[in-house]
C-alpha cells in the first residue's frame, strides 16, 4: 500500500532568516518571498507537501492579532493537515509557544515551533551572518517536520538538539545551538544521530478546546522593594494587573492595600512564591511566559472560565511544575 504523503501547514511569523547559495541573507517579509525562500530548502519538500501561510514579516513584534490568526489558521486546517510548524522570531518564540498552548487545548494534531538562531534584518544580524555559514533554520525545520510524526500533547519548541514542551521552555544562553532549555529538565526529545522522542507521549483524551481570543488589556510591570508601583490601581482603564516579583520578600503594607482595594484582578508572579494577599491571583511554579500567557487567556476568556479566581493554581495544560 502506498504511504499517504504528509501535508504540513507552515505558518511564517518571523524567524525565517537563512543564507542562500551566495551567502546572502534571505527572510520572508511578505507572501511574495515565500517561494524563493522555500527553494533554498528543497529537502523540506521531500519530507512533506507544504502549505505555507504568511502571518507576519520578519521584523514584526507579534501581538494578540498575530497569535489569534495563528490559532484560527490551525483550527481551520485541523482536518486537512497532518501537523503544523510555526516559525517565529527566536526572541518571541517562548511567548508564542505559551500563547498557542492556551489557545489550542487538547487538539489532536501536533504543533511544533522553531526559528533561526538569530532573527531580523538589522545590522547586528547581518554581522552575525558574516561570521557564520548557517543560521540553524534548515536543521531546525527538518527536525520540526520529522517531529510531526509523533503525538505531542501540547505545542512544543524544536530547537538545536532539544524538543521542549512550549510552556516549560526558558532561555538558555550557555550553549550555541540550544537557545532554550526546559525549566524542569523535562525534554520530550533530543537530536543525536537522529531524533529520539519519548514513546510515552500522546494526545490528550479530553475534548479539544480552541479559543479565538487572547487580546486582554493588562498592565505588566516588575515589583522592586522600596519603589512605588507605576500605576494607580483605582484610576486606570486596564482589565487586570500582572506584577512580576523579583524577590520573595513580603510585600510592603501599602502595596498589599493596593491589591486589596483593587477593582480589577491582580496577578502576582514568582517562580517560587508560596503565598500572597488573598485578593491576588498567585502565579507560581511555572515560567514567566506561561504565567503571562495564562493571565492573558484567562482575562480574554473570563466568561468561559467557571473557576476564574483559582486559575493560578490550576494546571490547565501542564504548565505547572
For the entire predicted model, the pTM comes to 0.94
Instruction: Return the pLDDT at 225.
Output: 87
Q: Give the distance, in angstroms, between the CA of residue 153 and the centroid of all CA atoms in the same chain.
A: 15
What mean pLDDT value characterizes the chain?
91
For 152, left (φ over 0), alpha (ψ -120 to 50), or beta?
Answer: beta
Three-class SS of the chain: CCCCCCEEEEEEECCCCEECCCCCEECCCCHHHHHHHHHCCHHHHHHCEEEEEEEECCCCCCCHHHHHHHHHHHHHCCCCCCEEEEEECCCCHHHHHHHHHHHEECCCCEEEEECCCCCCCCHHHHHHHHHCCCCCHHHHHHHHHHHCCCCCCCCEEEECCEEEEHHHEEECCCCCCCCEEECCCCCCEEECCCEEECCCCCCCCCCCEECCCCCCCEEEEEECCCCCCCCCCCCCCCCEEEEEECCCCCCCHHHHHHHHHCCCCEEEECCCCCCCCCCCEEECCCCHHHHHHHHHHHHHCHHHCCCHHHHHHCCCCCCCC
Task: Write out the three cell numbers for 282.
Answer: 498567585
pLDDT digits (tens, 9 = 90+) for 39-94: 999 999 999 999 999 999 999 999 999 999 999 999 999 999 999 999 999 999 99
Q: Which residues contact 25 (CB under 8 A, 6 or more apart)?
A: 17, 18, 19, 121, 125, 126, 129
Instruction: Return the pLDDT at 129.
Output: 56
pLDDT digits (tens, 9 = 90+) for 188-243: 999 988 899 999 999 999 999 999 999 999 999 999 888 999 988 877 899 999 99
pLDDT digits (tens, 9 = 90+) for 258-274: 999 999 999 999 988 76
Task: Write out the three cell numbers for 44.
Answer: 523540506
Which residue's entry shows cell 501581538?
A: 63
Instruction: Return the pLDDT at 1.
Output: 43
Instruction: Return the pLDDT at 272.
Output: 83
CB 121 within 8 A of CB 18: no
Instruction: Return the pLDDT at 307.
Output: 87
Q: How far apart (Å, rounded) are the C-alpha atoms in residues 297 and 280?
A: 17
Instruction: Return the pLDDT at 124.
Output: 57
% the chain with pLDDT above 70: 93
Q: Give the distance, in angstroms, between the CA of residue 52 and the centroid of all CA atoms in the same chain.
A: 19
CA angle 252-288-257, nearest 5°? Answer: 20
Q: Give the distance, in angstroms, between the CA of residue 6 and the centroid of all CA atoms in the same chain.
A: 24
**Residue 248 — very low, low, confident or very high, per pLDDT cuts 50/70/90?**
confident
CA dist 249 → 3, 226, 258, 279 (Å): 59, 11, 17, 18
Q: Give the distance, in angstroms, between the CA of residue 49 and the centroid of all CA atoms in the same chain.
A: 25
Mean pLDDT of 29-41: 96
User: Half-sphere exposure of residue 222, counting CA atoms within 13 Å on the CB side?
Assistant: 5
CB 105 within 8 A of CB 210: yes
Tell me the domain boundaries of the chain.
7-209, 216-313
pLDDT digits (tens, 9 = 90+) for 274-300: 678 889 999 999 999 999 999 999 999
- Residue 17: name the closest of 132, 161, 121 by CA: 121
Query: What CATH fold (topology level) applies to the domain 7-209?
Result: Rossmann fold (3.40.50)
128 pLDDT more than 70: no
132 pLDDT more than 60: no
Looking at per-residue pLDDT, the higher value among 177 and 252 belongs to 252
Amino acid at each position: 500500500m502506498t504511504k499517504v504523503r504528509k501535508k504540513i501547514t507552515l505558518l511564517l511569523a518571523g524567524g525565517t532568516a537563512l543564507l542562500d547559495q551566495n551567502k546572502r541573507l534571505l527572510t520572508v517579509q511578505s507572501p511574495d518571498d515565500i517561494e524563493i525562500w522555500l527553494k533554498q530548502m528543497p529537502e523540506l519538500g521531500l519530507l512533506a507537501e507544504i502549505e505555507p501561510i504568511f502571518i507576519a514579516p520578519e521584523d514584526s513584534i507579534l501581538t494578540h492579532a498575530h497569535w489569534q490568526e495563528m490559532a484560527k489558521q490551525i483550527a481551520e486546517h485541523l482536518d486537512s493537515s497532518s501537523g503544523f510548524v510555526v516559525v517565529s522570531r527566536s526572541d518571541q518564540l517562548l511567548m508564542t509557544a505559551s500563547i498557542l498552548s492556551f489557545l489550542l487545548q487538547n487538539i489532536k494534531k501536533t504543533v511544533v515551533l522553531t526559528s533561526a538562531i538569530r532573527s531580523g534584518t538589522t545590522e547586528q544580524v547581518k554581522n552575525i551572518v558574516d561570521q557564520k555559514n548557517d543560521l540553524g533554520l534548515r536543521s531546525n525545520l527538518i527536525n520540526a517536520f520529522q517531529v510531526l510524526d509523533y503525538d505531542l500533547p501540547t505545542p512544543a519548541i524544536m530547537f538545536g538538539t532539544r524538543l521542549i514542551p512550549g510552556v516549560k521552555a526558558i532561555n538558555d544562553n550557555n550553549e550555541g545551538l540550544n537557545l532554550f532549555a526546559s525549566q524542569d529538565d523535562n525534554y520530550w526529545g533530543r537530536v543525536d544521530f537522529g531524533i529520539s522522542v519519548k514513546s510515552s507521549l500522546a494526545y490528550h483524551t479530553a475534548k479539544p478546546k480552541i479559543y479565538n481570543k487572547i487580546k486582554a488589556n493588562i498592565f505588566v510591570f516588575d515589583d522592586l522593594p522600596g519603589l512605588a508601583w507605576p500605576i494607580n490601581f483605582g484610576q486606570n482603564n486596564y482589565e487586570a494587573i500582572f506584577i512580576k516579583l523579583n524577590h520573595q520578600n513580603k510585600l510592603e503594607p501599602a502595596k498589599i492595600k493596593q491589591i486589596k482595594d483593587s477593582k480589577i484582578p491582580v496577578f502576582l508572579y514568582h517562580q517560587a512564591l508560596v503565598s500572597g494577599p488573598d485578593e491576588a491571583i498567585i502565579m507560581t511554579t511555572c515560567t514567566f511566559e506561561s504565567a503571562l500567557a495564562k493571565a492573558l487567556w484567562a482575562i480574554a476568556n473570563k466568561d468561559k472560565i467557571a473557576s476564574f479566581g483559582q486559575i493560578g493554581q490550576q494546571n490547565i495544560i501542564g504548565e505547572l511544575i
